Chains A and B, each alone.
Chain A
Amino acid sequence: MQLQCPMPQLDFEVITLGHGSGGLLTNRLLDAGVFSLFHNDQLDQRHDGALLSFPGPVAFSTDSFVVSPVFFPGGNIGDLAVHGTVNDLAMCGARPQYMSLSFILEEGLSMQEFWDILVSIKFASEQAGVQIVTGDTKVVERGKGDKIFINTTGIGPIHPRAAIAMDRVAVGDKVIVSGELANHGIAIMSVREGLTFETDIVSDTRPLHQLVQTLLDTFGGAIHLLRDPTRGGVATVLSEVARDSGNGISLQQGALPVADGVAGACELLGLDPLYVANEGIFLAIVAPEEAEAIVATLRGIPGGEAAAIIGEIVAEHPRQVVMRSQIGGRRVVNMLAGEQLPRIC
């Protein structure tokens, strides 16, 4: 699904240093690009910042995006920047309400590419119900950036029934994953220089707040912890949970949902799907008595069809994640050391 918006007629085809000068060129870029696409009470003021008020507690999160290549199967840096921040807020049990949007553009970026990214941002933010209320644009010399870097910050109210905290993780809790592992990382790798291979794998980049809102509406305090396993993958996030909660985590390799094509690509590239990045799934540590119902609920919502219970919190092997392999062997799952491949988000 791609929103079509024709690019306005402009007298420049590429971004130049002048577009970041703050002067006339900057204004022309913003008028043609940002302000023609994004409208709301705050942004239309064209003030230095947004004036916001909230009746209750909020979550606040920031993230930067440097993915290479900028366009990849299933999305681009624009959707990713919106989804990334929306999802970070969702993991706190919050509904994203307002966002900032800040660009660092490299001199020479084509206006058409920038426009396509802006349109993706518009679509993604509307889909997520989040308003972009403030922003910034800078331009760096050619060779000092990589087309475009984006920083987004989001803020939004916390769900009244949310009680998400590391100290709520308890022995017996079930570990649920909301969808298939490793789609984003493999989609990015499939188009990286030196590594192109033919595949129909697309990134899973998507907003997760709707799934999370539904879970919190229905199950409230039974949701003990939420995490989105982006860089470092499921293995790294679960290792952090084991370390920080002081509990052991037992994983079942056979229960991990991995699409056939992704599993095959991982075999070829020598990667473990547990360590590959995701942008459209989350891990939930939940009360055991509600686990089955939570999975059933997730499976009924778009984006949650492949949800599964993949393990549980145990008293044995404290601070370690131990996976029972599909052949019955056991091994420790550690954090990702170093880089799998550069720049996946």
Chain B
Amino acid sequence: MKFIQEFRDPELVEKFVNELHHITTQPWTIMEVCGGQTHSLVKNGILNMLPSQITMVHGPGCPVCVTPLNLIDKAVYLAEEKGVILCSFGDMLRVPGSKRSLLEAKARGADVRILYSPLEAVTLAQKHPDREVVFFAVGFETTAPANALSVVHARRAGVTNYSILASHVLVPPAIEAVLEDELTQIQAFLGAGHVCAIMGIEEYYPLVERYKVPIVITGFEPVDLLQGILMAVRQLEAGKYALENQYARIVRPEGNPEARKMIEQVFSIADREWRGIGTIPQSGYEVSEAFAAYDANRKFSVQIEKVPESSECIAGQVLKGLKKPVDCPQFGKKCTPQNPLGAPMVSSEGACAAYYHFAAAGIAD
């Protein structure tokens, strides 16, 4: 647990909290982009430690939450109707599609499996040469290298019964979409540390300049988050805007060049629909032409009818930071992790689930 405990040190936490209280003179609204950060803020009780003038708004950085309904329907269809072995990360299985979730499809007999690594899916394809194996490749830039590697690895090993259903989204266009929304209140961002560990920080400079907004690339432990918030508030209080890197122990300015090469080899940038938000131009990855044989979208040419979202779910507004989960009339009532109306109530990184599990809404004193 070394290299983790240091970043949960109560004394350091207290120091940063005190300094925050000391320097904060007016209300500030800051968005943490990544769902992992939301989870940590809520789980560690950090929201209650901040000065009352600071409002943390939870961003769209939950890949499971923004995966379009249509794509989940497609995954369910492939598992049920095409007889493929459909693999994905655990969270994705519970997200409701228009008819059912992958977990329900599994209960009804479809071959749906939870894996922790896409390379396991390639192994599975080698073990079952008579079956098609599809990996539901969900995630931000962070998981893209591993998913790309699985495709490269499959091709190298001559595995032809493996493909990925790619649903990759990108952080910088999402930040831009939030800033372009005329209702937005966001004055500073905590950037997603692990995304930047892959991609580097270069692409954030233009955002800082164009929108005159501080962005602090931030980690996930309590000390990281409080330091990130402190760095953002210092800028705001001083009327400055700059790109800063709180998470320098992990994030190099150039990112991880090997991982980026892997992404560039397999994926190309495309317009992408974000569940609850809509289509954001140039905001996702699709499998490039060179690897078309490993693209489940091309391999199984199915057209899935588009179905509108539940009208009771305000996920779009939550993901853009316009509403808090507890502002939703269905929060904890019709919408719970056992019976979710929308994806943010499902994923461990979803803001609604974080609020539900850790009752960030309040301790009943």
Interface size band for B: 35 or more
Chain A binding surface, main DSSP class? loop
Q: Nearest Cβ in chain B — how far from A190, in angstroms?
A: 12
Q: Which residues of A contact B238 (CB under 8 A)?
A: none
> How far is B40's CA from A270's CA once the two chains are assembled, in angstroms?
11
A-B contact pairs, 8 of them (CB 8 A): A260-B1, A264-B1, A317-B365, A318-B364, A328-B10, A330-B48, A334-B357, A337-B356
A331 touches B359 (CB 8 A): yes
Known contacts A260-B1, A267-B4; A329 and B338 CB within 8 A of each other: no
Interface flag for A316 (CB, 8 Å): yes
- Whole-angstrom CA separation of A318 from B365 in the bound complex: 8
| Contacting pair B44 A325 (CB below 8 A) | yes
Count of chain A residues near B, Cβ 8 A: 30
> Considering the complex, which residues of chain B in the window 320-349 have a beta carbon less than 8 Å from any beta carbon of chain A?
336-338, 348
Please measure, in the bound complex, the distance between the C-alpha atom of A267 and the C-alpha atom of B2, giving whole angstroms: 12
Q: Does B14 contact A (CB under 8 A)?
A: yes
A320 — nearest CB in chain B belongs to which residue?
B364
Q: Among residues 1 to 26 in chain B, which have CB atoms less than 8 Å away from a CB atom of chain A?
A: 1, 4, 8-10, 13-14
Q: CB distance A328 to B364 under 8 Å?
A: no
Query: Between A and B, how many residue pairs show CB distances below 8 Å?
Result: 83
Docked pose: A316 CA to B363 CA in angstroms: 9
- Mark B241-267 against chain A: 1 for CB-CB distance below 8 A, else 0: 000000000000000000000000000
- Given A325-B222, A332-B363, 19 other A-B residues pairs in contact with their CB atoms under 8 A: A194-B113, A195-B116, A269-B116, A272-B43, A320-B359, A322-B363, A325-B45, A326-B10, A327-B44, A328-B13, A328-B45, A329-B46, A330-B48, A330-B363, A331-B42, A332-B358, A333-B358, A337-B357, A341-B90
**Chain B residues with CB below 8 A from A272, complex form:** 43
B280 at interface (Cβ–Cβ under 8 A)? Answer: no
Q: Does A263 contact B (CB under 8 A)?
A: yes
- B47 — nearest CB in chain A belongs to which residue? A329
Give A140 Cβ to nearest chain B Cβ, in Å.
17
**Chain B contacts of A331 at CB under 8 A?**
42-45, 358-360, 363
Complexed CA–CA distance, A267 and B120 (Å) = 21
Residues of A within 8 A of B94 (CB): 338
A334 to B46, CA, bound (A): 18
Q: Report if B114 contacts A (CB, 8 A).
A: yes
| Chain B neighbourhood of A330, CB < 8 A | 45, 48, 363
Q: Pick from A194, A264, A270, A324: contact of B120, CB below 8 A.
A: A194
* Given A331-B358, A337-B338, A338-B338: A316 in contact with B365 (beta carbons within 8 A): yes
In the assembly, what is the distance between CA of A92 and CA of B365, in Å? 32
Binding site for B on A (CB under 8 A): 193-195, 260, 263-264, 267, 269-270, 272, 316-320, 322, 324-334, 337-338, 341
Partner-A contacts on B (CB < 8 A)? 1, 4, 8-10, 13-14, 42-46, 48-49, 87, 90, 94, 113-117, 120, 222, 336-338, 348, 356-360, 363-365
Q: How far, in angstroms, from A269 to B222 measured CA to CA in the complex? A: 19
Given contacts A320-B363, A322-B363, contact A329 B48 (CB under 8 A): yes
Closest to A269 in B: B116
Which residues of A sit under 8 angstroms from B10, Cβ to Cβ?
326-328
> Could you say which residues of chain B place their CB within 8 Å of the CB of A316?
365
**What residues on B are CB-neighbors of A324 within 8 Å?**
45
Distance of A211 Cα from B356 Cα, bound (Å): 37
Q: What chain B residues lie within 8 Å of A326 (beta carbons)?
A: 8, 10
The answer to whether B49 and A329 touch across the interface, beta carbons within 8 angstroms, is: yes
Min distance, Cβ A198 to any Cβ of chain B, angstroms: 14
Quick one: closest A residue to B117, CB to CB? A194
